[in-house]
Structure 1
Amino acid sequence: MFNPWPHALSVAVALATLASPTLSQAQDLTFNLPAGPLASTLNAIASQSGHIVSLEPSLVRGKQAPAVVGQMPAEQAMQKALAGSGLQLRVTGQGNFSVEPAADNSAAMQLGVTNIVERSTDATTEGSGSYAARAVTIGKGTHTLKEIPQSVTVMTRKQMDDQDIVDLKDAANKTTGLVGAQGVGRGLILSSRGFQIDDWQYDGVPIPRNTYALGNWATQDLIFFDRMEVLRGASGLLQGTGSPGGAVNLVRKRGQNAPTVTLTGKAGSWDHYGLQLDAGGPLNQAGTVRGRLVADQDDSHSFVDSEWYKTTSLYGALDFDLSEATTLGLAVSQSDGESRSNVRGFPRYADGKPVDLPRKTYTGAKWNHSDIDVTTLYTDLEHRFNDDWAFKVGAVRMTETNKAKNQRVQSSGTGINADGSGVQYADFVTDLDSTKVALDMNLNGKFEALSMQQEIMVGGNYSKYTSDDKFARTFNNSTDNIFNIDHDRPEISYDGLLNSPGGRGTPSKYDIRQKGLYGSWRVKPIDPLTLVLGSRVSWYDYSYKSWRQDATSITADPESTSNENGEVTPFAGIVYDLSREWAVYASYTDVFTPQTERDTGGSVVKPIIGTNYEVGLKGELMDGRVNTSLALFRYDQENRATLDTDGGQICDGWYCSKASGKVRSQGLDAEISGEVLDGLQLFAGYTYNTTKYIKDPENEGKVFSWWTPKHMLRVWGNYQFSGDWNRVSTGLGFVAQTHTIGYDHSVNVPGYTVWNARVGYQLTPEIELAMNANNLFDKTYFTAAYNQINGNNNYGDPRNVMFSVKYTPEF
């Protein structure tokens, strides 16, 4: 298959691959490949047919292939993919394929049996038709999964489309080791290995995405993105104060070289309707300017009475080839999500048992309303000095406004009484306004020195988060019953709550800035062994100002600040290739997390320090069509702030803190993804994870991460039939997990298994029909969240279906 690896390894690999059997050139195969990058389409055809395709990487760079759909021999599929590209196909004497220029001087570039036949390191997944990613960009530069000495998962565009995954929370809960917990309304809390991931990467640029004055409101559509890359384990080298649980990188869709249009219509349960346009193509005759437009409208009611959601999303992208070696990318996305949501679910009985309420029960008011508006600007510039050296700079600017008013029902005491009494209405108004700006630049280079292959990466990044927020709230005890909620209480406003008995407002401002310099060095002292050494130096400044406001006055609270200068986080890894398919690895990395609590001397408590160890086995099987991994990990986190009860209540009328706590997260990850059998794309990921307080004055020995199950298994497979049934594809999978606990360790949230399925039918080469069915057996369960006795218990979706029609015209 196509792969731009160096010529130095071509002869040995070519001889090895030529010794393997290939399929008959004339055998008809069923192809269903949408228009996409030419490199990806050639890879997909080669992967499906079992052939080798050899070429110079520069020949296909920036070129686009038309859709390849129908029954045909692999050679014909290749010819169709190459149509209009200025390239031609040549069949070698051994029955493999070579791609070369169609010009008369092409003979000088023929590669013969000594061609590059390594696997492709193109990280783009659109058009690949595969669940197996060839490479990732989350660690700066482009590497295969096997080259990275940490656990890595990629959710490809094919997998998102097959499972009808449209937002980050859904994607997280169908990915190995991640938990997308319920935030406020449609918001989410992303976590891995027991720790929140609050900085998310966009094209490798990390920005804060879940810092709010109140609650967890973050939302993220996935229609703008080619893939979701996930690194599990400490990510301090990439993000400085990054989560010890890992990092998530969302890689956006790009401008295209050939005209491509996809129009998708959806209709499903609870009056759920959607319409999406995804179009792209060259904007000049030379193809040096390429564009992309995505427009999506999604409207839905809910299984919960009175609940509704409406989201409008727009995305536009331009890519300019300033020269053969330099590409500039510009893009803007905008998502406007309105909703009337069941913001905090249900409370529980005092003994922690759930109240027996129907899943359709709405606890809000008729005037509940939320409007989340997110606008993001993206830009990046990449310059390729040659095939070995490249410089890239990327920037992201995101503005977000979040306006909401809602009624939340909770218990007035320690849980709802047996007769349903003990209800309290909590009224909230939020007006949150934030701006995030981030920049990342890096230089990557490969070279040979002292007879060793080496690679270096140096870079730096900067992020700034500023906000101008305010919220107001009141808590109102009531004689109402949990089985008869009042949805018609008077509508609220910010000023109205300030004038209510017990009403209080909280204006606030965040100013969080982080910058860092990072670098890594990869060296191969002997051919099968790679050593990776890296480090980052970080600077961090945090400021939070808040005021207490009532109807007549406003009073400033003490400012909360934290500053860290020159914090060093090292990284070390080793990868040993057992064979071309298998490698073992081990890694160590540090993480630091600044804290804002004060000690008895008035100083900020020193940062949390964590150490992450991981060993594992990775495989790239069946000529790269299947990725596998197995990892054992342990993360110890020390210096957590705990209450200093010996120091007296001298910190704002309460106990100060000291850096003495310790927690541990450890376990196992296992994963397989790709075409495990002809026509069968499979993703399966299992995680065993325990989290515990090792040292804590109140919680020692208890579970640390209440929403992290000890066992998680996520499985999905999609099978493309052949022969007379070649128009049909079917999918089946499930998510299963063991129980979790509540925020205060007094609630048990039972585990569950939920099955999902899909049926697809290719009506014509241009029209595809599909039906996705979720929660096939209508399992009743509670989702992971800040589950508490007094509220925040939310049911998962009952059984539902989604029908879709996708139209992709040929050009």
Structure 2
Amino acid sequence: MHNNWPRALPLVVALSSFSALVQAQTLSFNLPPASLATTLNRIASQSGHIIALEPALVRGKQAPAVVGQMSAEQAMQAALAGSGLQLRVSASGHFSVAPASVGEDVMELGATSVTDNYLDATSEGSGSYAARAVTLGKGTHTLKEIPQSVTVITRKQLDDQGITDLKDALNHTTGLVGAQGIGPGMVITSRGFQIDDWQYDGVPIPRNNYSLGNWATQDLVFFDRVEVLRGASGLLQGTGSPGGAINLVRKRGQAKPTVTITGKAGSWDHYGLQLDAGGPLTSDGKVRGRMVLDEDQSDSFIDYQWGKTHSLYGALDIDLNDATTIGGGISYSREQSRPMLRGIPRYADGKPANVSRSTYTGARWSRAETDVTTYYLDLEHRFNDDWTYKAAAIRMDETNTSTHQRVQTTGQGLKPDGTGITYADWITDFHNTKIGLDMNLVGHFDTGSVAHEVTVGGNYSKLTSDDAYWRNFAADPDDSIFDIDHGRPEPSRDSLLASNMGRANKASYDIRQKGLYGAWRVKPVEDLTLVLGTRVSWFDYSWDSIDFNGPNDPGNRYPTSRMTETGQVTPYAGFVYDLTREWAWYASYTDVFIPQTERAVGNTPLKPVIGSNYETGLKAELLDGRINTSIALFRYDQENRAVTDTASGFACDDWYCSTAAGKVRSQGVEAEISGEVLSGLQLFAGYTYNTTKFLDDPDEEGRVFSQWTPKHMLRAWADYQLPVDDQRWSTGLGFTTQSHTLGYERTYSVPGYTVWSARVAYQLTPEVNLAVNANNLFDKKYWVAGFNQLNGSNNYGEPRNFMLTVKYTPQF
């Protein structure tokens, strides 16, 4: 035996080298949450390894989703994260599992050594701008596996840029515009079309139904990340916008205890304090909790304007057994403010009024309050390693009240000397309840060498509202935009109705949608994935309205507006072809339908708007998944849009009817990159070229369709961890730039702009981080894109401002 050893030595060395090569090989994994034993065996089988498992060690333990490009070692590390176990690697390259407290003779890899290969969809703790997976569709997939444009705004990016509300987040990402609506809320557009249904943990509910304006706001203190799909989303949410879908994924208790206390102070007496705590509540980790308390208050660069927000969130996730997890949560947000609604008017020729950025058009008694209480409930049951059932529900109760003064013009814009404004006094009282439910079953199976994934499910949403307003206009030809009266008498409901131009209105919506959907992903060959899907939708709409023109007026009830669509089919088809290990080519097609409430001759509702969405492009996961990048070409054609039927005369409630004859087109190019492009350098950059045009319209043919969609948009932000002083310093720099947009009347332009922002941070101790963010670094004076009407809704962007943040994270 001794004489044979020298001959065997080269073979041993060769085998060891081969084993090391196999261990380091990067593979593509897409494993759903399953039992730990099953996931480890799947990784070993896919990578050609052998793993020895002691049944008693892994019994009852679950592994998270393992998704992305990585080595077999890294995949097993991710599967073992939080299990109390660690990986052992023998000299010959065989794997085994042992308790975390192993002896020194064990080759320890450590579950926390692969944070750069963070694999599930959660962005907290990843320290990255590159998301490894998304849950925007059903199941968990990498961005490269979805044949449409997808962006994830991670918690790391939100924190670095100091972003705390959804409108701000979307205005810093690729291709989206978050515009202030007629009310204090926002309107989200993508590729020229509004996104009115927002998803919460994958459950869509209507959030931008017009009630005398747009009142929906959303802060992000409760959420881990924002997932954005651009392009038609009908498969996900039925009548969803052709522009895309927004999914807000809430924070949950993690496997380890975490506590963060954040204080901030900034320009215009802006102060905030937040407690965010969570982790296991039982010794076995089967019950996990999360709590967020947030207080924020600020004055404004606008005179007299201020806002104060109180937010509270609590959540529990409970493993009922090894196969079933139930989660629930409640969030409450109350915002009190003195707002400026309807902004500043323009001159009749479209030129902006040359007034200070501090100009306030409201009254000292103007006030508004928004209360939103949201209930979340979800359940996940794993029948086995291949089949998973999920159900999620959401209920949102929202109240918007206000007493406020607006300023608008008596004609089409201001007179040359700035006169011609009218004061409008309003009292609003809006209440609505939104309910959403989604249930789906996702399964994986093989037929021979062909892998399949099947998704079947259904969802339901309902909006009911009880809205009322009281208003009066007080015109004076001598009133000027340069001399706003902030001390006019505060109105009451009775005084508004008793005035000459007083009016009140009560209205209610009842909008319901339900649908069944299915999708099939199949890999007929190793490098090709086909995606086929369809949805069948049912839609019911009802709106009632009563006008009151005096304190003793019994009211004039309008005929109930009703509309029903039954069995609308939305097909979807796409493919993803892996050109290399990193790069893939994709293409997709889907239909869109949008119900219309306009009426044709004979008082019959118009048939729905229909559209066809085409997209193709390239996607890549570079540097072992640390970078996501994509480029896309897209076109959306829409027809059956309502246009005025002047030939019919006043045949519809003493006004013109409509006809379904309008056509529009949106098309363009998008490119995006996110992740760690160099060691310590996190980057997000997204460029969009988008044109929208009326193809067929009696008045607008050939003109721009979406007034507030810039032709060019570029958003970029980079954060760099300096390699000095133990990497305690980091600095960030970014900008958003866009070309001009059009005013509401399409007769004038709103100039484009470039705004820079920056950040400097210092890790004072392992527990304490200090950061200063500067926004609008060069104090650019500009008008934000939005409704931008002649008689109002023009708002300045924020001047240069600063925010100091102190974050304390105790180490456990």
Match of 2:781 in 1: 780
Q: Deviations over 1:399-451 (max 9, x none)?
A: 00000111111111121112121111112111000000010000001110143
Match of 1:672 in 2: 673
Cα separation, partners in 2 of 1:536 and 1:118, compared to 1, 3 Å: farther
**Is the 1:618–1:627 Cα contact (8 Å) retained in structure 2?**
yes
- The 3-state SS of whatever aligns with 2:703 is coil
Cα separation, partners in 2 of 1:120 and 1:534, compared to 1, 3 Å: farther
Match of 1:746 in 2: 747
Describe how 1:158-177 pairs up with structure 2 within 5 A.
158-177=156-175
Match of 1:248 in 2: 246
Describe how 1:62-461 pairs up with structure 2 within 5 A.
63=82, 86-88=84-86, 90=88, 100-102=98-100, 121-184=119-182, 186-461=184-459
TM-superposed CA distance for 1:13, in Å, is 5.7
Q: Deviations over 1:743-771 (max 9, x none)?
A: 11123110000000000000000000000
**Is the 2:89–2:107 Cα contact (8 Å) retained in structure 1?**
no
TM-superposed CA distance for 1:345, in Å, is 1.1
- The 3-state SS of whatever aligns with 1:632 is strand
**Is the 1:100–1:110 Cα contact (8 Å) retained in structure 2?**
no
Match of 2:15 in 1: none
TM-superposed CA distance for 1:384, in Å, is 1.3
Match of 1:645 in 2: 646
Q: Deviations over 1:434-479 (max 9, x none)?
A: 0000100000011101431011000000011000000122222122
TM-superposed CA distance for 1:117, in Å, is 14
TM-superposed CA distance for 1:342, in Å, is 1.3
How far apart in 1 are the matches of 2:744 and 2:768? Answer: 48
**Is the 1:51–1:96 Cα contact (8 Å) retained in structure 2?**
no
Structure 2 segments unaligned to the other structure (5+ residues): 1-25, 32-38, 50-61
Quick one: which amino acid aligns to residue 516 of structure 2? L
How far apart in 2 are the matches of 1:757 and 1:100? Answer: 46
- The 3-state SS of whatever aligns with 1:162 is helix
- The 3-state SS of whatever aligns with 1:442 is strand
TM-superposed CA distance for 1:94, in Å, is 9.9
TM-superposed CA distance for 1:226, in Å, is 0.7
Match of 2:19 in 1: none
Q: What percent identity do the matched residue pairs reach?
A: 64
Counterpart among 59, 76, 83 of residue 80 in structure 2 = 59
How far apart in 1 are the matches of 2:310 and 2:428? Answer: 21
Cα separation, partners in 2 of 1:97 and 1:293, compared to 1, 3 Å: farther
Is residue 569 of structure 1 aligned with residue 570 of structure 2?
yes
Cα separation, partners in 2 of 1:187 and 1:177, compared to 1, 3 Å: same
TM-superposed CA distance for 1:480, in Å, is 1.7
How far apart in 2 are the matches of 1:118 and 1:781? Answer: 40
TM-superposed CA distance for 1:126, in Å, is 0.3
- The 3-state SS of whatever aligns with 1:355 is coil
Describe how 1:653-802 pairs up with structure 2 within 5 A.
653-724=654-725, 726-802=727-803
How far apart in 2 are the matches of 1:399 and 1:374? Answer: 6
Is residue 544 of structure 1 aligned with residue 514 of structure 2?
no
- The 3-state SS of whatever aligns with 2:495 is helix
TM-superposed CA distance for 1:51, in Å, is 11
Q: Deviations over 1:490-518 (max 9, x none)?
A: 10122321111111111001000000000
Q: Deviations over 1:25-72 (max 9, x none)?
A: xxxxxxxxxxxx9989x999x99xx99524176533xx3xxxxxxxxx
Q: Deviations over 1:572-625 (max 9, x none)?
A: 001100111010000000010000111112210000001000001000000000
Q: Deviations over 1:222-272 (max 9, x none)?
A: 011111000000000000000000000000000223221100000000000
**Is the 2:30–2:141 Cα contact (8 Å) retained in structure 1?**
no
**Is the 2:328–2:377 Cα contact (8 Å) retained in structure 1?**
yes
TM-superposed CA distance for 1:90, in Å, is 4.2
TM-score, normalised on structure 1? 0.90
TM-score, normalised on structure 2? 0.90
TM-superposed CA distance for 1:533, in Å, is 0.4
TM-superposed CA distance for 1:120, in Å, is 5.7
Q: Deviations over 1:114-169 (max 9, x none)?
A: xx999664101100000000000001100000000000000000000000110000
Match of 2:616 in 1: 615
**Is the 1:670–1:687 Cα contact (8 Å) retained in structure 2?**
yes
Is residue 490 of structure 1 aligned with residue 489 of structure 2?
yes
Q: Deviations over 1:92-122 (max 9, x none)?
A: 76999987544889x999999xxx9996641
TM-superposed CA distance for 1:284, in Å, is 1.8
How far apart in 1 are the matches of 2:730 and 2:316? Answer: 34
Is residue 514 of structure 1 aligned with residue 535 of structure 2?
no
Cα separation, partners in 2 of 1:121 and 1:598, compared to 1, 3 Å: same
Quick one: which amino acid aligns to residue 621 of structure 2? E
Cα separation, partners in 2 of 1:689 and 1:365, compared to 1, 3 Å: same
How far apart in 2 are the matches of 1:791 and 1:264? Answer: 38
How far apart in 2 are the matches of 1:165 and 1:568? Answer: 38
**Is the 1:292–1:316 Cα contact (8 Å) retained in structure 2?**
yes
How far apart in 1 are the matches of 2:510 and 2:735? Answer: 42
- The 3-state SS of whatever aligns with 2:256 is coil
Describe how 1:526-605 pairs up with structure 2 within 5 A.
526-550=525-549, 551-553=551-553, 554-605=555-606
TM-superposed CA distance for 1:376, in Å, is 0.2
**Is the 2:74–2:117 Cα contact (8 Å) retained in structure 1?**
no
How far apart in 1 are the matches of 2:527 and 2:589? Answer: 20
**Is the 1:121–1:143 Cα contact (8 Å) retained in structure 2?**
no
Q: Deviations over 1:502-559 (max 9, x none)?
A: 1111100100000000000011111101110000000000000000112222110111
Alpha carbon RMSD of aligned pairs, Å?
A: 2.8
How far apart in 2 are the matches of 1:744 and 1:577? Answer: 47
Cα separation, partners in 2 of 1:360 and 1:122, compared to 1, 3 Å: same
Cα separation, partners in 2 of 1:406 and 1:95, compared to 1, 3 Å: farther
Cα separation, partners in 2 of 1:101 and 1:275, compared to 1, 3 Å: same
How far apart in 2 are the matches of 1:327 and 1:118? Answer: 27
**Is the 2:368–2:402 Cα contact (8 Å) retained in structure 1?**
yes
Match of 2:807 in 1: 806
Structure 1 segments unaligned to the other structure (5+ residues): 16-36, 64-84
Quick one: which amino acid aligns to residue 326 of structure 1? T
Cα separation, partners in 2 of 1:281 and 1:348, compared to 1, 3 Å: same
Cα separation, partners in 2 of 1:38 and 1:263, compared to 1, 3 Å: farther
How far apart in 2 are the matches of 1:594 and 1:126? Answer: 39
How far apart in 2 are the matches of 1:426 and 1:255? Answer: 48
TM-superposed CA distance for 1:739, in Å, is 0.4
How far apart in 2 are the matches of 1:626 and 1:96? Answer: 30
**Is the 2:708–2:743 Cα contact (8 Å) retained in structure 1?**
yes
- The 3-state SS of whatever aligns with 1:789 is coil
**Is the 2:87–2:109 Cα contact (8 Å) retained in structure 1?**
no
How far apart in 2 are the matches of 1:474 and 1:127? Answer: 53
Quick one: which amino acid aligns to residue 274 of structure 2? Q
**Is the 2:115–2:126 Cα contact (8 Å) retained in structure 1?**
no
How far apart in 2 are the matches of 1:98 and 1:488? Answer: 77
